[in-house]
Amino acid sequence: MSTQTVSSESLQDKRSESALVPDAKFMKQMNDEVKVNVNLCYQCRKCSAGCPMSADMDYTPVQLIHAIRLGLKELVLNSKTMWMCSSCQTCTTRCPQEVDIARIMDAAKIMAIAEGIKPPVSSVHTFNKAALRNIKWFGRMYELGLIGDLKMRTFEFFKDMGLGAKMFFKGKLKIVPSLSPLRTLTTWKIFSRVKKKERSS
C-alpha cells in the first residue's frame, strides 16, 4: 500500500525534466477520450490503496491521475503504470468520486500506441495482441492457440512448460478449439466496427 506524498516533486524524482513540461491540452484530450472528469479526484488515494498491481507500477494510480491533471503527457504516456494494470476495476469501484480510473488506464494505453510510443512492458502488449487475435479467430479464448501464438512471438518456447503441462492434465487446455461459425462471424463484426471507429477518430 502506498503512502507516498502525491506531489509534482515526487513525480519529478522519477523522471527527467523534459517529461515534466506540461501540455495544456492533455487533460482535456484525456477527459474527451474517456469521458471521465479527472478533476473530480481529491487525492484520497483509495484507488492506489486497493490496487493489487501498484507495487509493480512506476506511478500509483493516484499519481497517474495527478500527472494527468498537471498535463504531464510525456510522463503519463511513457509510464509503465497502465501496462501493469490488470483491469480488475478495484480502483474504479473504490473511488468515492466515481472517477473511472480503470478506463483512464485503457485510454492511456490507446493514446500511447497512437503516439507511437513503445510500451515499456512489451510482454503485456504482446499478450494483448495475441489474445485479441485469438478471440478474433475463434470467437472466444482458445488457450492452447494463445500459448502457441505467444511462443512464436516471444521465442520463449520453454517458459512455463511445467505450468502448461499441469493445466493440460487438469483438462484446462483443450487440444481442439470450440468452433462456431456464427460466433466467429459476430466477433469479426465487432472487430470491424472497432476498426471503423478507430479510422474515423
In whole angstroms, how close is the CB of 51 to ligand SF4 at the nearest point?
A: 3
In whole angstroms, how close is the CB of 89 to ligand SF4 at the nearest point?
A: 5
Q: What separation in angstroms does the CA of 29 have from each of 13, 68, 107, 131, 134?
A: 26, 10, 10, 28, 31
Name the nearest CA neighbour of 138 among 186, 188, 184: 184
Q: What separation in angstroms does the CA of 37 have from each of 31, 41, 72, 109?
A: 6, 8, 16, 18
In whole angstroms, how close is the CB of 31 to ligand SF4 at the nearest point?
A: 13
Q: Which is nearer to ligand SF4, 77 or 105 (CB)?
A: 105
Name the nearest CA neighbour of 64 among 55, 73, 56: 73
Give me the residues that bind ligand SF4 (CB under 6 A), please. 41-47, 50-53, 61-62, 65, 85-91, 94-97, 99, 101-102, 105
In whole angstroms, how close is the CB of 60 to ligand SF4 at the nearest point?
A: 8
Q: Which is nearer to ligand SF4, 74 or 100 (CB)?
A: 100
Q: What angle do CA 109, 85, 117 make, to 5 degrees?
A: 25
